Chain A
Amino acid sequence: MAATLGIPAVSLVTEKFWPQGDFVANSLGMPDLPRVQLPHPVAGTGTDNMRRVAETMAERIIAALKGGT
């Protein structure tokens, strides 16, 4: 939603949901919508693991927001 309004946005999509991310991005007419792939699963893996994932991915998320890959 934010991306459609021109607000810098990045979608965090786990590996198993990556094809759905493609589908949604194409449906929105934004095939190049910035996305960062996370390991699967994230939900239900506990706070400690989520924190590890966040720390690992933070730089990639920032890079995606800046227009990088």
Chain B
Amino acid sequence: MLTAPDENEAVEMLHALRCTDGLPVVVPTRERVDRLVLASGQDGDMVLGTMGPAGGIATVEKVAVAAVMAGCLPDHMPVVMAAVQAVIDPAFDLTEMQSTTHCTAPLIIVNGPARQACGGITGGFGALGPGHRANASIGRALRLAMLNIGGARPGESDMALLGHPGKFTYCLAEDEESSPFPPLHTSLGFQAEDSVVTVIGAEAPHSVLYSPTGDASEDARCLAEMLAIGISNLATNNAQLRNGAAVVVLNPEHAQVFQKANLGRESVQKILYGYCFHPPELLRSKAGGFAPRGEDRGPVHAFRSHEDILVLVAGGSGLYSMVMPTWCAGPHVNRFVTRPVLLNAFCEIA
């Protein structure tokens, strides 16, 4: 237990110990941590798993410490717990993702009733920007857990050459109410009434501009081509390393473009998959050491399957959607991981 004469000194001490993300934190006092452990509905010493690259043991209490430091409310804890459990899943390759030179950060996508029940996680205007406490605090709690339990410190064990701003916090909800598609988690095997986090290591969001013309089929085709350029242009790991995953965040107007063409989520995914390829000779001439070897002449697809392209709806309505290419490496090649958010296991705070 650390001691300090006052809150300001305590924050400075945490900065000096490299326990912060560089911004001021809420001091994790015993009382504050206990409050979030209680909100977790679990014993504080319950082990969730290990977090690489340091191999730190992630107990509920340590996760609660990160959540306090991030500014979380008790209501946020179920989502924080689910997000931590998602990145601990061996399929997420947390150790490799924390250690890579690439710019990748876990994007937390929240679906289901937890969006309202856990502090109001937004999927609307500026969902990935400032001003949304639940989004900001939940994503930051995961980052602080990755720093202090996982031990990922820049230039020492987190070797990202530049990183990206989503490494501070990267959390949003799907705007299910504005989406013409079923909620994302129902496409991944859950029920609509379930609450679920889908977590994927992702680059910073890249904007994709498309202004519809009113021709339903042409708009759908052109928008899909633009999105495909965003997730698999020649400069991306997706194009050069291949076989990874990517995220497409449609704003509600762009989602309606596909709806008007009678295209559901899976159809959109398949169309995107179909556009995400390059001629091998182009990759051979541009991709240097990652150019495909051999004499194959067929198209080189960026993805193994359309299912590796996550398509969801979020953000304000307008002309811009966002895409996130990914790292596409590690033993599991940058898979997304889902975890249910356990809303009923948590205690009421009087």
Contact = CB atoms under 8 A, between A and B. Distances in A.
Interface of A: 17, 19-20, 23-24, 27-28, 43-44, 46
Given A17-B159, A20-B99, A27-B55, 13 more contacts: A19-B155, A20-B157, A23-B53, A23-B157, A24-B157, A27-B52, A27-B53, A27-B54, A27-B157, A28-B55, A43-B289, A44-B288, A44-B289
A2 B40 CA distance: 37
A23 B289 contact: no
Interface string B26-63: 00000000000000000000000000111100000000
B151 interface: yes
Chain A at the B interface: mostly helix, strand, loop or mixed?
helix
Contact of A24 (B53, B155, B288): B53
Contacts, number: 26
Contacts of B99: 20, 24
16 contacts: A17-B159, A19-B155, A19-B156, A20-B156, A20-B159, A23-B53, A23-B54, A23-B151, A24-B53, A27-B53, A27-B54, A28-B55, A43-B289, A44-B288, A44-B289, A46-B289
Interface of B: 52-55, 99, 151, 155-157, 159, 288-289
B171 to A, nearest CB: 27
Nearest to B158: A20
Contacts of B52: 27
A61 to B, nearest CB: 22
A44 B240 CA distance: 14
A7 B288 CA distance: 34
B94 to A, nearest CB: 13
Closest 9 CB pairs of A and B: A23-B157, A27-B54, A27-B55, A19-B156, A44-B289, A20-B159, A20-B157, A23-B156, A24-B53
A27 B289 contact: no
Nearest to A47: B289
Nearest to A43: B289
A44 B55 CA distance: 30
Interface centre among A17, A20, A27, A28 (most CB of B within 10 A): A27
Contacts of A43: 289
Nearest to A44: B289
B273 to A, nearest CB: 29
A35 B289 CA distance: 25
A19 to B, nearest CB: 6
Contacts of A27: 52-55, 151, 157
Contacts of B159: 17, 20
A15 B77 CA distance: 41
A38 to B, nearest CB: 15
Contacts of A19: 155-156
A24 B52 CA distance: 9
A65 B159 CA distance: 27
Interface centre among A17, A24, A46 (most CB of B within 10 A): A24
A31 to B, nearest CB: 13
A44 B287 CA distance: 11
A42 to B, nearest CB: 11
Nearest to B99: A20
Contacts of A28: 55
A11 to B, nearest CB: 13
B74 to A, nearest CB: 32
B300 to A, nearest CB: 20
Contacts of B55: 27-28
Interface centre among A23, A43, A46 (most CB of B within 10 A): A23
Contacts of B289: 43-44, 46
Nearest to B150: A27
Contacts of B156: 19-20, 23
Contacts of A20: 99, 156-157, 159
Nearest to A24: B53
Contacts of A46: 289
